[in-house]
Structure 1
Amino acid sequence: MTKYLFQANYVGQGIKGLMQEGGSKRRDAVVKALESVGGSLECIYYAFGETDVLGVFDVPDQPSAVALSLMINSTGAVDLHLTPLMTPEDIDAAVGKTPAYRAPGQ
């Protein structure tokens, strides 16, 4: 499973929908969307300021995350941003690799 941080803002009709349905029904919609691609919700929180809602979820692979992002953003009701999350062990594996690279101008 791949873990993602999600941050979203309700836009236009999305704000009206949130006001009509409330937070728990929107959480249920997120759970259902994640389950449709074999994923699960770890946590979800509402906030105010720059971000309306944020949380963490797991999905089987990157194409599943992209599919969710495209579908949700295509509604125009939510502006969703995903950030892949890595474990300390993922970083250990990365620093153990030595890719070949030549900097510009060298």
Structure 2
Amino acid sequence: MVFDVSVALTWILFIALFPITYFWMRRAWRIVVRRDYSEVALKRGVSPPNPARFAPFAAAINLIAGGIIGFVIIGVLAGGMPYETWTAIAGSTLWLKFMLDFALSRHAHPFILRKRA
């Protein structure tokens, strides 16, 4: 048996989808059900002045991304998704989630110009 790096990376990516989905769905649960806004639109670990205003957007991002990755997991386990399809969906979802979270955090923390003294 020959060690194939691409097979190992594929397994690592697939196994990593489970905790990713769990954390994203848990974050959406905390925002929607528990009304815990401590992880909404963080910028350098600091919440925005009004996190409740941005909570629906953060919950939607996490819920949709977690749902898509959950769909990918089910599709792979059922044997209905070819390799190219599920890796493309999972990779695109990961990158879009990171970009949308970044954009939301920057929108929640506006850039304020200060006068020089």
In the superposition, the TM-score normalised over structure 1's length comes to 0.30
User: Is the radius of gyration larger for structure 1 or structure 2?
Assistant: 2
Larger RCO of the pair (alpha carbons < 8 Å, separation 6+) = 1
Q: Report the structure, 1 or 2, having the larger strand content.
A: 1
In the superposition, the TM-score normalised over structure 2's length comes to 0.28
Q: Report the structure, 1 or 2, having the larger helix content.
A: 2
